[in-house]
Chains A and B, each alone.
Chain A
Amino acid sequence: MMEFVWLIPALPLLGFLILSLFNKYIPKSASGYIASAMLLGSFLIVLNLLFSAISGQLIEQPPVVLFHWVHAGNLNLSLSFQIDNLSVWFMSIITGVGFLIHVYSISYMHDDEGVTRYFSYLNLFIFSMLLLVMGSNYVVMFMGWEGVGLCSYLLIGFWFKNQNYNDAAKKAFIMNRIGDLGFLLGMLLIYNQFGTLEYREVFDQASKIINPNEVSTIITVITLLLFVGAMGKSAQIPLYTWLPDAMAGPTPVSALIHAATMVTAGIYMIARSNVLYSMAPCTLDVIYIIGTGTAILAALIGLTQTDIKKVLAYSTVSQLGFMFMAIGLGGYSAGVFHVTTHAFFKALLFLGAGSVIHAMGGEQDIRKMGGLMKKLPITFITFIIATLAIAGIPPLAGFFSKDAILALAFEANPIKWGLGVFAALLTTFYMFRMLYLTFFGEFRGTQHQKEHLHESPLLMTIPLMILAALTVFSGFIEVPHVLGGHNWFSHYLAAANIALPEASHLSNSTEYLLMGTALALVVSVIFITYFLYVSKKTQPASSESEMSFLDKLSYNKFYVDELYDFVIVKPLGFLSDFNSNIIEKHFIDRIVNVSGKSIQWSGKTIRYIQSGDVNTYAIFMVIGIVVILFLNLVL
């Protein structure tokens, strides 16, 4: 089996190469099928691996070395793959969801002139993402890490004629790079400390450190730096602002990259390095704080957004915050579990939104929608399943994953639980607000749009249905003890050295109480929203002037973008101008020029001594003689 592992990333790469090199000769309609076929190939191999993983055959599997990449001094890097339960799990999500989205895209993108380019980018993304999760050392991960950043850049700016989209793409890339710097420095410190970047060796050596001081400083710094990388990639405070903007890309891209896979790379990385993180409680606290902060902040912003994709984007940010919250509480498997369920329901939501947008002829403003449930029945049903899942209604996937996190939180501190529930309620509120505004009530769009409303073709709805099914059932892999399950997923991951959370101290009754409370709150919020948006037909304000102060604050994303612009972008531009116009021209270069000028000036001055007057010449000569004679006397 292992000898075919290289095929998993190679197939999408091949797809990318074929599509990009021969894009002139490939009919547009064929490109989507080629790309999907490649991915299907990978997916099948991965599936095979997944079965071996589930049956426990991948435990303690040595890395698969493809070739030695860089060797210099003590640094030995090879392009090698770590195939274990964790990476196989992620590979399954990537190839599986990726495949569905590819298929969806065939139809969604069919009339775009750059469709071949689109699929080549998509294949390249899958390749990079696979590299990210498969690599057996940090550098290969970094390779994938940067690669997905590039693909994200290319895909966000896919419609390159629109400079706003290009700005969004650029912003995404640069913000990611800020994180990447942290990641890079983390790697460098790891290499500096342990002399290697291979996961196994690093973790071995790290666990051998006994000196507590060393642990607390070095490991904390390493983990914090790596976490900075995660902040960028997984859109956490303060580097989250790129993700909502990234919705400029085609909707399937948002589903794949900015919801299901790439943005969860941070979680993967931390889960992968959990050995280090577990040694650094301080870092975990930081992660918790940032995760919670992000979850709440993004949810608050999501409350007032009117662009369907923006709402989903903030929801993604918020959910990512949840995942980090879990990790911050030491629940790596809970985090990964939420990644999994989130991948399904968020992809579903995005694809559903895509379907809506498709039907609306490109309209994304929920104020102009409404009453779509009759025209788009499949979309509506799948969409409502996903919405219920994200709100955490049992027995959908979201319920289990969110409950696992909330349980961890309560165990740590009831306040933390409260915060978690608060974020969940906010989520429920804006999700249902969106759902109601979109699918319930009267249609608020133009007549022209109304006539063209139609359900999407099968190629788009089938992936929706499959994802809906997954959303419904995937929760059951981690049924907690209290509900009679065995936490199968945690044990599955434990085989890949992912630390299990400490056994729960909570009594069953407490857990029931918590679940019940949370559920009751959620359900009540659903009704409140229903009351607000369906019964009272409240409409979001159509212009800013009508909003209240808090609404405005939320609608404008708490002015964070403006803040960044003011604190970072503007000063950088100013600094650039200042450097090039003042420092460069008036200091550094002036020193050079002035020394040149002063020579010219002295040349000019000295020239006048040459007065043409013989007497003067003779006087100078005599003075010269006198000076020399007197100097002789002195010396």
Chain B
Amino acid sequence: MSEYLVLCLILFSLGAFGVLYRRNILVMFMSIELMLNAVNLLMVYFSALHNDQSGQVFVFFIMAVAAAEITIGLAILVMIFRHLGSINIDSLKNLKW
């Protein structure tokens, strides 16, 4: 059990907690970014541990995906704002049960 692993797990859990806890969609996005970053760091750590640079390459892909994803996410967010004038997830409960 190493410190980096613990750090990353805490960071990841914090991100997850953010998703569970916050109602503000924007902050939820940020929480997700936090989770991804925790994974990034973990990858880098393992990459160094194994002396294998493919881990770092993988981080590239994660970053690329994260960027692409967040673009879409923000586009959706804008749409929501246009509809509701707010970005609170609580107001989005039309679909249930």
Contacts and interface: CB of A to CB of B under 8 A. Distances in A.
B61 interface: no
Contact of B19 (A607, A613, A618): A618
B49 interface: no
A615 B96 contact: no
A613 B22 CA distance: 11
Contacts of A608: 97
B84 to A, nearest CB: 15
A619 B20 CA distance: 6
B20 A622 contact: yes
A607 B96 CA distance: 8
B4 interface: no
Contacts of B28: 614
A612 B94 contact: yes
B16 A607 contact: no
A607 B20 contact: no
A610 interface: yes
A294 to B, nearest CB: 76
B89 A614 contact: yes
A613 to B, nearest CB: 6
A213 interface: no
B73 to A, nearest CB: 13
Contact of A613 (B16, B21, B90): B90
Interface string B57-97: 00000000000000000000000000000000110111111
A611 B89 CA distance: 13
A607 B93 CA distance: 14
A607 B97 CA distance: 5
State the majority secondary structure of interface residues on A.
helix
B96 A612 contact: yes
A619 to B, nearest CB: 5
Contacts of B22: 615
A625 B21 CA distance: 17
Contacts of B21: 615
Nearest to A608: B97
Contacts of B23: 615
A611 B20 contact: no
A615 B22 CA distance: 8
Interface string B16-37: 1001111100001000000000
A614 B90 CA distance: 8
A628 to B, nearest CB: 15
Nearest to B13: A622
Contacts of A615: 19-23, 89
A394 B90 CA distance: 114
A622 B93 contact: no
B5 to A, nearest CB: 15
Interface in A580-635: 607-608, 610-615, 618-619, 622
Contact of A612 (B16, B20, B97): B97
B20 A613 contact: no
Contacts of A612: 92-97
A610 B90 CA distance: 14
A615 B95 CA distance: 14
B20 A618 contact: yes
B97 A610 contact: yes
Nearest to A623: B20
A630 to B, nearest CB: 15
Residue among A608, A611, A614 with the highest chain B CB neighbour number at 10 A: A614
A613 B92 CA distance: 8
A611 B93 contact: yes
A615 B16 CA distance: 10
A139 to B, nearest CB: 68
A402 to B, nearest CB: 91
Nearest to B16: A622
A230 to B, nearest CB: 73
Contacts of A613: 89-90, 93, 96
Contacts of A618: 16, 19-20
B67 to A, nearest CB: 22
A289 B90 CA distance: 92
A622 B16 CA distance: 8
A5 B92 CA distance: 97
A611 B94 CA distance: 10
Contacts of B16: 618, 622
A208 B19 CA distance: 95
Contact of B96 (A610, A619, A622): A610
Interface in A153-212: none
Contacts of A611: 93, 96-97
Interface string A358-390: 000000000000000000000000000000000
A610 B96 CA distance: 6
Nearest to A616: B20
Contacts of B92: 612, 614
A614 B19 CA distance: 9
Nearest to B95: A612
A608 B96 CA distance: 8
Contacts of A607: 97
Residue among A607, A610, A611, A618 with the highest chain B CB neighbour number at 10 A: A618
A612 B23 CA distance: 13
Nearest to A620: B20
Contacts of A622: 16, 20
A626 to B, nearest CB: 11
A620 B93 CA distance: 17
B97 to A, nearest CB: 5
A608 B21 CA distance: 20
A370 B97 CA distance: 91
B92 to A, nearest CB: 8
A617 to B, nearest CB: 9
Contacts of B94: 612
Residue among B28, B90, B95, B97 with the highest chain A CB neighbour number at 10 A: B97
A610 B97 CA distance: 5
A611 B90 CA distance: 11
Nearest 7 A/B pairs, CB to CB: A612-B96, A612-B93, A607-B97, A618-B20, A618-B19, A619-B20, A614-B89
22 contacts: A607-B97, A610-B96, A610-B97, A611-B93, A611-B96, A611-B97, A612-B92, A612-B93, A612-B96, A612-B97, A613-B89, A613-B93, A613-B96, A614-B28, A614-B89, A615-B19, A615-B22, A615-B23, A615-B89, A618-B16, A618-B20, A622-B16
Given A611-B97, A619-B20, 12 more contacts: A607-B97, A611-B93, A612-B92, A612-B96, A612-B97, A613-B93, A614-B28, A614-B89, A615-B21, A618-B16, A618-B19, A622-B16
Interface of A: 607-608, 610-615, 618-619, 622
